[in-house]
């Protein structure tokens, strides 16, 4: 015992030098043996190991010596020895971040013992160190599942329930770490599904009270839980059936004016995920989600604007009626056009453009074309065809082709002012452009050829020559589309007598 005290003093004075001496003189195996065989000296031995485990260079060696099983045995055999458990937990907290330690711990009963210790912990310090260890263990998938199987979520929910009315700083810290651990458990697919349990799991059962709480941390936990549960369609459908959508909207309404941006962001992420299954889109639209969510249009927070736009775009995907209604809403369109022009948030600008394109693609409506033209949104779709992202280029090209096919006459002037034909020429000449972009560009050309003025612009820049070159493209769809454009040009030439001679 005296020798161990001397070692502790040495470590306290110079951990690097003392650790090297202990290694050189092969003392570490003796410490591990003491931990296993001598209860009287176990506390001091564990204390020494806890100090040594702070040394990065020694951590792997300690794991290789199977110190892990001895530390777990402390929790198993002496769960009520407060002093011994404390130093055992300290040692575990220093080692548990290692992958090799997690691997070793996954083969022990450590999770079950830690959950038991968490349930009986009475001090803030003890709760925090246990949750810290559990958080590190939750980074490992097998351990994450073990944690759920050991019902750690029930204890964490109890902690949140017990401390929610406290204003003490240390209680707030414990709530935060408990919430973070719940969210970590939800990040694994298998552990998330176990926690959901078709809406019967304790975490899901607590979501309603969290969302309606005055505590922003609990609101955030509830919203993040829904967003994570909504990673597969069956869970999404079930949650919409259980009525979670309007709870999220109620929460968003609380935060519209000077609210918590992080909570709004999380709630909108949850709504967007819930809107992915087709049957949910229909139900959510029927229940007025699109109308209620537009309260956030007045938000000046770019993260909220970004998520709002993505959620609306997901809601109208494949939903012609909804796209037709929203596509004629002057307030929505005015805000979209405004966001299409923001300079300092490229994400908001991109999502605003994508929503404009989606309204046209999914509505295919003359009224929507007129409304977007009136709101001066067409020029932004033309600009979108030059995006560095192919998916956005294609969305814009398809939307503009639909516009041209529906009512070319009312958008023709906007096309001219935006130099659409010149932009399409550059796209077709650019060898770095993918085949789908070229294909959709020529699809738009087919619609534009119905206009005399558009045909004159094409003739003026000799666009025909570029299309002819594409007849030798290595993509068969591009070749087919090029031949179609040339055929329409030839027909126009015969009809008018002077175009594309």
Predicted confidence (pLDDT) per residue in 293-324, tens digit: 888 998 889 999 999 999 999 999 999 999 99
For residue 483, give the nearest of 440, 442, 436, 441 by alpha carbon. 442
Q: What is the pTM of this model?
A: 0.85
Query: How far apart (Å, rounded) are the C-alpha atoms in residues 313 and 392?
Result: 13
Least confident interval from 120-129, 134-143, 488-497: 488-497
Residue 126: which H helix or E strand, with range?
A: helix 124-137
Determine the pLDDT at residue 85: 87
Lowest mean pLDDT among 63-67, 211-215, 357-361: 63-67
Structure-token pair, residue 467: 């299309």
Q: What are the tens digits of pLDDT across the range 42-91?
A: 666 677 777 777 777 778 887 887 888 888 888 888 888 888 888 889 88
* Predicted pLDDT of residue 303: 92
Distance from C-alpha of 135 to C-alpha of 266, rounded to nearest angstrom: 21
pLDDT for res 57: 74
pLDDT > 90? residue 478 = yes
Q: Which of 453, 323, 305 is nearest to 399 (CA)?
A: 323
* Lowest mean pLDDT, pick from 81-95, 263-277, 400-414: 81-95
DSSP string, 299-338: ---HHHHHHHHHHHHHHHTT-HHHHHHHTT-HHHHHHHHH
Lowest mean pLDDT among 67-76, 104-113, 161-170, 446-455: 67-76
- pLDDT (0 to 100) of residue 37: 56
- Residue 35 is predicted with a pLDDT of 62
301: left (phi over 0), alpha (psi -120 to 50) or beta: beta
Residue 369 has pLDDT above 60, yes or no: yes
Structure-model confidence comparison of residues 366 and 44, the more confident one: 366
Which residue carries 């999220």 as its tokens?
A: 248
What is the C-alpha separation between 247 and 210, in angstroms, rounded? 10
**393 close to 384: Cβ distance less than 8 angstroms:** yes
Note the pLDDT of residue 25.
Answer: 44
Query: What integer pLDDT is reported at residue 119 of this predicted model?
Result: 95
Which DSSP symbol is given to 472?
A: G
Assigned token pair, 159: 């902690």
pLDDT of residue 134: 97
Look at residue 8 in the predicted model and tell me its pLDDT: 41
Q: Chain centroid to CA 272: how far?
A: 11
Average pLDDT over residues 246-252: 93
CA 370 to chain centre: 35
Q: Which domains does the chain have, with CATH numbers?
A: 198-317 (1.25.10.10), 319-418 (1.25.10.10), 424-501 (no CATH)
Mean pLDDT, the chain, whole residue set: 89
* 3 state SS of 499: coil
């Amino acid at each position: 015992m005296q020798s161990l005290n001397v070692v502790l003093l040495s470590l306290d004075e110079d951990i690097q030098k003392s650790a090297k001496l202990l290694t050189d003189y092969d003392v570490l195996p003796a410490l591990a043996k003491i931990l296993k065989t001598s209860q009287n000296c176990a506390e001091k031995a564990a204390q020494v190991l806890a100090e040594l485990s702070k040394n990065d260079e020694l951590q792997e060696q300690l794991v290789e010596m199977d110190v892990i099983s001895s530390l777990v045995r402390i929790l198993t055999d002496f769960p009520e020895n407060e002093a011994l458990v404390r130093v055992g937990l300290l040692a575990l907290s220093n080692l548990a971040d290692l992958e090799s330690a997690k691997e070793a711990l996954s083969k022990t009963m450590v999770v079950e013992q830690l959950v038991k210790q968490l349930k009986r912990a009475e001090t803030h310090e003890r709760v925090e160190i246990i949750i810290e260890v559990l958080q590190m263990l939750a980074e490992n998938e097998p351990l994450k599942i073990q944690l759920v199987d050991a019902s750690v979520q029930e204890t964490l929910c109890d902690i949140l329930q017990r401390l929610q009315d406290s204003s003490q700083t240390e209680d707030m810290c414990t709530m935060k770490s408990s919430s973070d651990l719940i969210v970590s458990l939800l990040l694994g697919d298998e552990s998330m599904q176990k926690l959901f349990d078709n809406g019967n799991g304790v975490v899901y059962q607590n979501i309603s009270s969290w969302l309606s709480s005055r505590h922003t941390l609990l609101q955030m936990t509830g919203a993040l839980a829904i967003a994570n549960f909504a990673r597969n369609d069956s869970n999404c459908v079930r949650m919409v059936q259980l009525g979670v959508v309007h709870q999220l909207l109620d929460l968003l309404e609380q935060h519209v004016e000077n609210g918590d941006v992080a909570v709004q962001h999380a709630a909108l992420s949850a709504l967007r995920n819930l809107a992915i299954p087709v049957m949910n889109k229909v139900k959510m639209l029927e229940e007025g989600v699109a109308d209620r969510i537009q309260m956030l249009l007045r938000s000046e927070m770019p993260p909220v604007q970004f998520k709002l736009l993505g959620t609306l775009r997901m809601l109208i995907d494949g939903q012609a009626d909804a796209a037709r209604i929203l596509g004629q809403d002057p307030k929505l369109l005015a805000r979209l056009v405004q966001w299409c022009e923001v300079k300092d948030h490229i994400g908001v600008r991109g999502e605003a453009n994508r929503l404009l394109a989606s309204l046209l693609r999914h509505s295919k409506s003359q009224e929507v074309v007129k409304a977007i033209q009136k709101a001066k949104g067409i020029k932004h779709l033309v600009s979108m065809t030059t995006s560095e992202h192919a998916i956005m280029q294609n969305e814009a090209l398809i939307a503009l082709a639909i516009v041209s096919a529906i009512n070319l006459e009312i958008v023709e002037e906007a096309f001219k002012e935006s130099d659409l034909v010149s932009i399409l020429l550059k796209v077709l000449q650019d060898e770095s452009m993918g085949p789908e972009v070229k294909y959709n560009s020529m699809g738009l050309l087919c619609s534009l050829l119905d206009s005399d003025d558009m045909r004159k612009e094409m003739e003026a820049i000799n666009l025909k020559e570029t299309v002819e070159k594409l007849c030798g493209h290595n993509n068969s769809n591009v070749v087919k589309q090029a031949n179609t454009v040339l055929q329409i040009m030839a027909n126009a030439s015969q009809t008018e007598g002077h175009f594309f001679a």
